[in-house]
C-alpha cells in the first residue's frame, strides 16, 4: 500500500484524493484552507497541518494547486514540502503552470527526489472516474515509478522531458478556450437570427464545435473562468501571433463571474448581455 500526499484540495485535488482512497492507498492531504480538507477526513484521508507533514514518508506526492505562486509556497515556503521529501520520492506536479516554472521547480528539489510534470486533461468528473488524460514530462524512470498511482487516475502519455507536459497542457487548453469562445459567438448569432438555442446546440454538436458543445453541456465539470484565463495568459507569454486566443482571453476577462465554470460563457443568461 503506497503512501500518497495530495497538496491542494480544491475541486480537482479533492476528486483525485477520492479516487486514490478508493484504490486502497493511504492518502494524506493538505490545503491552505484546512476546512477544505475536512470532508476527506470523513472518508479515510489524513489531514496534515502543513505541506511538510503531508509529504513526510510519502512514496508519491501529487501537487494540484491553482497557480505557480501556490506551488512555490507549498513546496518551498514556510513548512514547505521540500524540507521533508526523502530520496526516491516522486513529486507529480499536476497544476497548470508554465514550462519555465516547472523546470525551475525541478532544479530546486532535494537530491534523489524526482519531478514528474503531469498536468491533466479532464475535470472533476474524469478525476473521480479515473479517466483523466495525463500529459507527463520527465524521465522514463520517473514515469515508470509513478505509473501505479497515475494509472488509477487515467491514461498516461509520456510527452517528453520536464516542461513538455506543461506545454502540451497549454496547447490543449488553447484549443478548449478558443472553441468555447467560438461557440459563444455562434450562439450569439443564433439568438440574433431567432434560432432556438437547443436547435443551435444540436446543429453545432454535429459539426466542428462538437467537442465544445459536449464540454459546456456535460454535468460535473469544474474549470473556473479565472483559471482558464490564467492558462491563456501563460500560453500568450510566447511572442507568437494568436489573435483568436487573445480574443478568447478578452471574453473570459470580461465575464462577470470569474469563479463560474467555463461553460458560463455560453449560458443563456450570459449571452443576454452580449
Contact 159, 206 (CB under 8 A): no
Distance CA(127)–CA(19), nearest Å, equals 7
Is 169 annotated in the active site? Answer: yes
Closest-CA residue to 252 (of 184, 197, 205, 187)? 184
Residue of 2, 169, 230, 272 marked catalytic: 169
DSSP H helices, the chain, are 11-22, 38-41, 51-55, 68-76, 99-108, 124-129, 140-153, 164-192, 197-204, 210-217, 225-235, 243-253, 268-272
Q: What phi and psi, each to the nearest 5 degrees, are found at residue 182?
A: -65, -40
Q: Give SS3 for 54.
A: helix
Which residues are known to be catalytic?
169
Amino acid at each position: 500500500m503506497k503512501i500518497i500526499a495530495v497538496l491542494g484540495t480544491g475541486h480537482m485535488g479533492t476528486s483525485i484524493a477520492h479516487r486514490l482512497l478508493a484504490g486502497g492507498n493511504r492518502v494524506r492531504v493538505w490545503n491552505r484552507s484546512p476546512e477544505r480538507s475536512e470532508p476527506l477526513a470523513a472518508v479515510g484521508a489524513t489531514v496534515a497541518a502543513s505541506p511538510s507533514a503531508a509529504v513526510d514518508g510519502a512514496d508519491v506526492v501529487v501537487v494540484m494547486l491553482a497557480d505557480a505562486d501556490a506551488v512555490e509556497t507549498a513546496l518551498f515556503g514556510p513548512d514547505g514540502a521540500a524540507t521533508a521529501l526523502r530520496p526516491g520520492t516522486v513529486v507529480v506536479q499536476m497544476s497548470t503552470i508554465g514550462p519555465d516554472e516547472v523546470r525551475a521547480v525541478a532544479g530546486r528539489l532535494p537530491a534523489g527526489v524526482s519531478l514528474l510534470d503531469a498536468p491533466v486533461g479532464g475535470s472533476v468528473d474524469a478525476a473521480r472516474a479515473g479517466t483523466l488524460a495525463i500529459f507527463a514530462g520527465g524521465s522514463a524512470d520517473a514515469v515508470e515509478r509513478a505509473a501505479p498511482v497515475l494509472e488509477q487516475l487515467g491514461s498516461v502519455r509520456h510527452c517528453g522531458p520536464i516542461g513538455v507536459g506543461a506545454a502540451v497542457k497549454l496547447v490543449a487548453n488553447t484549443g478548449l478556450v478558443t472553441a468555447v469562445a467560438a461557440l459563444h459567438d455562434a450562439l450569439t448569432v443564433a439568438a440574433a437570427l431567432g434560432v432556438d438555442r437547443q436547435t443551435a446546440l444540436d446543429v453545432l454538436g454535429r459539426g466542428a464545435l462538437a467537442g465544445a458543445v459536449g464540454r459546456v453541456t456535460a454535468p460535473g465539470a469544474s474549470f473556473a473562468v479565472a483559471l482558464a484565463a490564467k492558462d491563456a495568459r501563460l500560453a500568450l507569454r510566447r511572442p507568437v501571433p494568436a489573435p483568436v486566443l487573445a480574443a478568447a482571453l478578452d471574453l473570459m476577462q470580461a465575464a462577470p463571474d470569474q469563479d463560474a465554470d467555463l461553460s458560463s460563457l455560453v449560458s443563456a443568461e450570459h449571452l443576454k448581455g452580449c
